[in-house]
Amino acid sequence: MKITWFGHAAFSIEGVNSSGEAVKIILDPYNYPACGGYLPIDEEADIVSISHHNERYHSDLSSIRGDYELIDALELVGDSRTCRGVEFAAFEVYETEDGEGPNSLVKFELEEVTVAHQGDLGHPLEGDALEFLRDIDVLLALAGGPPTIKVDDLADLVAKIRPPLVLPMHYKTPKVNLDLQPVEDFLATCTGYPVETPGCPELTVSRDTLPAETTIIVLDHAR
């Protein structure tokens, strides 16, 4: 499986489904130029998943090409859907600790690796929401603090679920026009784990190469 971080909360996940067919999934695409300086994604996809409707930062489809199927995660909450041989599930969360701004955690399995995207989560997780993320392999983690989850709450979440891989996203870079914290703030809070900076936007992952202990990998943005 190949994971590419485009920038902000947008990723592509490329792999082979259980039928042996190549599948490319794009998650939470942003809008250029409304998001800031991240360039258009401008790639084909087989599946596009959006955690909620926020075309500026999380659900712009204008630069995605191809005859893709759309996973609107808020419509999937409490259920699952198999799309192009990949099963998706969603859990409703909120943008604030007061329960405002419904959006979704999204998870799916490809090549026996389970990936979870945190959407626009803005509060700590407990109970069923926490259980939804147990046993995942890759956490695409909101590492920029408010308006999403506070970095200490994210560090606590990582400590509770201990995913093999944590890939920070949605943090301050010169390319985004949101007041976020830099990834270094998250790394200073979420301590005790190996940190890798491969110097590129892509990562190849398989069931056999997942690290035995939680590892944080900071990718460069592709756009």
pLDDT in tens, 155-211: 999 999 999 999 999 999 999 999 999 999 999 999 999 999 999 999 999 999 999
Which pTM value belongs to this model? 0.96
CB-based burial label for 145 (10 Å; 0-12, 13-18, 19+): buried
* DSSP string across 82-103: EETTEEEEEEEEESSTTS-SEE
pLDDT averaged over every residue in the chain: 97
High-pLDDT (> 70) share of the chain, %? 100
pLDDT for residue 163: 98
Ranges of H-type helices in 48-171: 127-132, 151-161
Residues 60 and 197: their CA atoms lie apart, in Å, by 28
pLDDT in tens, 78-99: 899 999 999 999 999 999 999 9
Tokens of 152: 């200490």
Domains of the chain, each with CATH number or no CATH:
2-217 (3.60.15.10)
Residues 44 and 208: their CA atoms lie apart, in Å, by 28
Contacts of 50-53 spanning 24+ positions with Cβ under 8 A: 51/9, 51/27, 51/90, 51/103, 51/104, 51/105, 51/106, 51/117, 51/118, 51/119, 51/120, 52/101, 52/102, 52/103, 52/104, 52/119, 52/120
